[in-house]
Each structure stands twice: as C-alpha cells, then as structure tokens.
C-alpha cells in the first residue's frame, strides 16, 4: 500500500511538472537579429620575431527564427563569393567588423583596410534538433583577431604613440536580415 501511495505521488509530481513545462512559451524575438556588446579582451604576445596584440570581441545575439550562420555548403547565391555582376558579394560573409582608431583629436575614425578586412563567416548556430522549424535563438559569438602597431602605422601614419582602437560589429542571418550595429569599448594597443 505504501508503494502504491508513493507511486501515485511520483506520478502526480511528474504530471504537475509536465503541465508547468508545457505552459512555458518560447521567447518572442524579432526575425531580424539583434546584437549587443558583451566584452572585449586583449593580450600582448611577445616573440623573437615581433610583438602583437590578440583581441577577442564577444557579442550577444537574439534571433526570432534561428536562421543564423553559414556552413561550408552555403556557397551559392546569395552567399557566393562574387555577386551576379562579378563583384565581391557582401553576403558571402555574415559577420561584419570595422576597426576604428582614435585620432589625436580624440575622435574615432574607420581604419581603411581596403580589400583586407575583418569580415568573416560564423557557422550555423541553429540546434540540430530544430530541423527545418523556426526556433528563437540567443547566445554569444566571440571573434578573435590579431593587431600589430606596425601595420596600423603603415595604413595611418599620423596615429599617436599609444593607439586606441574599437570595433563596429553587425551580423546578418540567412534571410539577409541585417542586425543593428554595436560599438565595442576601446582598447589600447602597444
């Protein structure tokens, strides 16, 4: 009798838990990705061949339909390297980063890198269990890069002794919805 009563209590607790869990609805995010700045970290690397700074930029994201990221098979239009007119296709990448440097006046300006840029791809983030269903996603993306003062000074020779840099970042989803743009905190390069 005691075992039967215990099993009834367990069944009641399980049913109650399932009932509560079924009441939880997924978050309601817009289909256009939204990002926010989370952190920026830097480390100085000194080697016999020279010194450089490594930088990690972390952003948080939310997306209502979970269509974030590209994989190796995403090479056809609209994600091909060249657009239909044969020019570099903006949407080959889905992570866009522009470095800004602080001038002597204190103002930040975009650093013109020409065809060298920090734009890149991040992999598909949608959970495998999602299949083809649209599912809201949220999380963090961290992008790492290397900065050398020598390169910065070749591009922009009038920079002050200690160079302050920050980054503008935005992402795009597979439907080509572009997120808002964030600006990181500034960091000093040495």
CA distance readout (Å), 135 to 34, 165, 173, 180? 15, 36, 13, 20
- pLDDT of amino acid 10: 47
CA nearest to 181, candidates 137, 173, 171, 31: 171
The token duo for 175 is: 């439907």
Question: Is the pTM above the cut of 0.85?
Answer: no
Measured between alpha carbons, how far is 168 from 100 in angstroms, rounded to an integer?
Answer: 7
- The answer to whether 93 and 120 are in contact (CB under 8 A) is yes
- Cis upstream peptide for 78 (omega within 30°): yes
- pLDDT of amino acid 50: 78
Residue appearing with tokens 């080697």: 47
Measured between alpha carbons, how far is 1 from 32 in angstroms, rounded to an integer?
Answer: 57
- pLDDT of amino acid 7: 46
How far from chain centre, in Å, is Cα 1?
58
The token duo for 188 is: 């000093």
- pLDDT of amino acid 3: 57
- pLDDT of amino acid 1: 52
CA angle 185–189–190, rounded 5-degree value: 155
List per-residue pLDDT tens for the chain, 190 residues long: 555 555 445 445 555 555 554 555 667 788 899 999 999 999 988 888 878 888 999 999 999 988 999 988 898 889 999 988 888 889 999 999 999 988 888 899 998 776 668 899 999 986 654 566 678 899 999 999 888 777 776 677 776 777 889 999 999 999 999 999 999 999 988 7
Q: Hey, what domains does the chain have and what are their CATH numbers?
A: 27-189 (2.60.40)
Q: Is the dihedral of CA 144, 184, 110, 95 positive or negative?
A: positive
């Amino acid at each position: 009798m005691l075992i039967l009563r215990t099993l009834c209590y367990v069944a009641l607790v399980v049913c109650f838990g399932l009932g509560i869990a079924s009441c939880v609805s997924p978050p309601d995010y817009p289909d256009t990705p939204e990002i926010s700045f989370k952190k920026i970290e830097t480390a100085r690397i000194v080697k016999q061949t020279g010194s450089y700074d490594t930088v990690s930029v972390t952003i948080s994201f939310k997306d209502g339909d979970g269509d974030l990221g590209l994989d190796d098979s995403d090479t056809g239009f609209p994600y091909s390297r060249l657009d239909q007119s044969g020019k570099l296709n903006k949407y080959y990448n889905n992570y866009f980063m522009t470095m800004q440097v602080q001038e002597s006046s204190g103002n930040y300006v975009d650093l013109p890198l020409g065809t060298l840029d920090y734009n890149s791809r991040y992999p598909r983030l949608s959970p495998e269990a999602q299949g083809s269903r649209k599912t809201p996603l949220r999380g963090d993306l961290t992008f790492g890069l290397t900065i050398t003062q020598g390169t910065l000074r070749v591009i922009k020779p009038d920079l002050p002794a200690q160079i302050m840099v920050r980054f503008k970042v935005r992402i795009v989803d597979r439907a080509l919805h572009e997120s808002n743009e964030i600006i990181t905190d500034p960091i000093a390069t040495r």
